Amino acid sequence: MVASGSYSAAARRLGYTQPAITQQMKALERAVGTPLFTRVGRKMQLTEAGESLSRHAETILGNLSAAEAQLRAYARLRTGRVRLCGFPSANVTLVPEALSGLAKDHPGIQVELLEGEPPESLRRLERGECDITLAFTYPGLHEEIPEEVSEVRLLEDQLTVLLPTGHPLARRRAVHLADLAEERWIAGCPRCRANLLHECAELGFVPDIRFSTDDNLVVQSLVAQGLGVAMMPALVLPSLSLSKVCGRALQPTARRHIAAYVYRDHLRIPATAVVLGALKQVAANRVGC
């Protein structure tokens, strides 16, 4: 109407009948409680109220177009933000590899990386602080999660023992846990510490735990200085940075289960789904870890 100057011209431009346009304008005037147009000769002219509404309409329509364009970008995976919470050993292995491929295929997706050990990492998901969380469990440990959360199994991670390179057992390809009964131990996070105590109890001894830390680099440094041995997931072995430590397979074989957790409704969000897909792809390449 504003650009066309008459109801008839506006009707032709929009593909409506002239009476339909007239009725819509009259309904709008009733809604706002004041005239929006006055007739000047053969043309319609905006009143002061009409001019004010026209300016707001242009802004609203512009914002609506921008919103529609942004929503299309989200749907087509051109943009999006995903908050990913991972435990330390995943954040130095699985996550960087997954994000590397993601950056090439979907450069518009931004990932905010958070860190947390289970079960606290799962609580962060429940509190809405992240969209995907990675967590691990050990055999016999059941993860308590809300019904609306999906568990996506990623991989089975074999446990190893971290030894100083000069340790007598370092010459073996595999080490029996019972042979480490007299060693000093370095324990990890509370969940890992509990599993260490359980595995040792199954073989009839209590490990002499001298240090506890969830920082893998600190664990490596302590082992390198001969201050103890540590139970270490195989996932971490490729990232060992000290030449004075080595990882050896444990007997009997022990594994931890690594999974991603996400609310089912979030699986319908394209950016979240594609990040989860990248993690699954990387994990699939590490089967047998």
pLDDT per position as a tens digit, 185-215? 999 999 999 999 999 999 999 999 999 998 8
CB-CB contact of 152 with 276 (8 Å):
yes
The band of 65, judged by pLDDT with boundaries at 50, 70 and 90, is: low
- Residue 87: exposure state from Cβ atoms within 10 A (0-12, 13-18, ≥19): buried
Q: What is the pLDDT of residue 268?
A: 84
Residues whose CB is less than 8 angstroms from the CB of residue 50 and which lie 6 or more positions away in sequence, other chains included: 2, 35, 36, 37
Please state whether the predicted TM-score (pTM) of the whole model is above 0.75.
no
The residue assigned the tokens 């066309």 is: 4
Q: What is the pLDDT of residue 73?
A: 47
The band of 91, judged by pLDDT with boundaries at 50, 70 and 90, is: very high
- With vertex at residue 117, the alpha carbon angle to CA 115 and CA 119, rounded to the nearest 5 degrees, is 125
Round to whole Å and give the CA distance between 159 and 250.
7
> Cis ω on the peptide bond leading into residue 252 (within 30° of 0)?
yes
Residues whose CB is less than 8 angstroms from the CB of residue 242 and which lie 6 or more positions away in sequence, other chains included: 220, 221, 224
Backbone angles phi, psi at 217, to 5 degrees: -65, -40
The band of 18, judged by pLDDT with boundaries at 50, 70 and 90, is: low
167 DSSP 8-state letter: S
- Chain Cα centroid distance, residue 279: 9
